[in-house]
Amino acid sequence: MLIRDETRQETLVPSAARTTIDSVDVSERTVLLRVDFNVPMSEGEITDDSRIRAAIPTIRSILDRGGSCVLMSHLGRPSGTGFEPAFTLSPAASRLAELLGRPVSLPSGDCVDEASIEAVNSIEPGGVILLENLRFHKAEKDGDAEFAGRLAAYGDLYCQDAFGAAHRADASMVAVPEAMEGRPRTAGRLLEAELRYLSGAIDSPERPFVAVLGGAKISDKLATIRHLAGRVDTLVVGGAMAFTLLRAMGHGTGRSLVEESMIDEARGIIDAVEATSTTLLLPVDFVCASAPSDGVDTTVAGRDIDDGLMGLDIGPASIDAFGAAIRDARTVVWNGPMGLFEIPPFDRGTLAVAKAMIDATADGATSVVGGGDTAAAVNDLGLATGFTHVSTGGGASLRMLEGGPMPGVDALDPA
């Protein structure tokens, strides 16, 4: 029998019980809606519109009930000194109009100038306005109250649906809802789903509960590992971050990516996990090559890798072990690829984990995929529909797994 560490059952994440947009009257009211249209771009074209599509249910809910929408978003990392063509939200407005089948206005290159104010003041029920990139103002990242007050004037109520930015304390995430005290401050459908699945997976999982962590750097996942130790039944660690752990255990890692400055910390992490009821499952073999290149010769090595080689994916024995643990689970959360999935054949480990999770889901398990590279991987592999939930937020989903603060959630009205 697995004995749980009952002293470590405090809530990891903010409560999902927030007032929702569907619970308030929006008829003939203007909803100031924070969305996450920070979409990947190439030469002015959107290469993945998943985040725009994810906002559609909330927008339609508002419009179908007689409301109007004023949308706010950021895109990329402009300088914060004014309009920059490379970071305009104009392509997002055009794509949103196509998806909604109705006009979407982008009134100005400045989200708080007279043209934007006039457009919002003239909006009719059923209208949709997308304000220009919030980060054209440095005040957005600074959480500036005066800037937030100007944005807050646009709405009769506030709706937060930008889960991907909910771990940040930007003006539109925190200062705007603070400025709208006394007006409803609600969660959109996307945010509601993200909180429900991530909170549910961590706070009240059906067991066995397996967490799968990957990616390049152990330093990015230290807090996550510490929080999950003693809470999950099995902690699976793959990706390049595994090499720092293996080096700490005394294994040779060849030319694989290792965070040399984190080796002592990695040893401490291993000891901390092993002191709990959690089983730590590390790779036992790797697909190796002399360089991370397409078409390069590959070989399979055990935990000790020759000096001239680098591990670029988990190997077949690791795939079998990871897959068995995942298929036996009733709850699985996954954040981080198993290898250099962008370059075949180093995508096989990530694909195998995805397929094992899909198998578990088909058998009734709850499967939650973290955003960022992990969501990109399952989307690239055409497998996103096989999971219970694929998060839209990389840093935000990781923050929830860490048990860290979520300012954009805390700013909303409790249910």
Among the listed residues 5, 226, 38, the one whose alpha carbon sits nearest the alpha carbon of residue 140: 38
Enumerate the H helices of 122-175 as residue ranges: 138-142, 145-152
Place of tokens 């255990």: 249
Those residues whose C-beta lies under 8 Å from the C-beta of residue 101, and which sit 6 or more positions away, are: none
3-state secondary structure of 280: strand
User: Does a cis peptide bond (omega within 30 degrees of 0) precede residue 292?
Assistant: no
Concerning whether 372 is annotated as a catalytic residue, the answer is yes
Residue tagged active-site, from 65, 138, 196, 217: 217
Identity of the residue numbered 136: F
Instruction: Give the distance, in angstroms, between the CA of residue 39 and the centroid of all CA atoms in the same chain.
Output: 13
**DSSP 8-state class, residue 111:** T
Concerning whether 355 is annotated as a catalytic residue, the answer is no
Give Dmax (Cα) for the chain: 68
Concerning whether 141 is annotated as a catalytic residue, the answer is no
**DSSP 8-state class, residue 43:** T
Residue tagged active-site, from 109, 200, 372, 386: 372
End-to-end CA, the chain: 38
Residue tagged active-site, from 252, 268, 395, 404: 395
Residue tagged active-site, from 51, 135, 185, 327: 51
Q: What are the CA-CA distances from residue 314 to residues 205, 324, 384 (Å)?
A: 27, 15, 21
Region for 139 from its dihedrals, namely left if φ exceeds 0, alpha if ψ lies in -120 to 50, beta otherwise: alpha
**380/133 Cα distance (integer angstroms):** 27
Concerning whether 221 is annotated as a catalytic residue, the answer is no
3-state secondary structure of 79: coil
Strand ranges of the sheet holding 299-301, from the earlier edge strand across to the other edge: 299-301, 286-289, 310-314
Q: What is the DSSP string of 217-244?
A: -GGGTHHHHHHHTTTSSEEEE-STHHHH
Instruction: Give the distance, in angstroms, between the CA of residue 367 and the centroid of all CA atoms in the same chain.
Output: 14
* Residues belonging to the active site: 51, 217, 372, 395
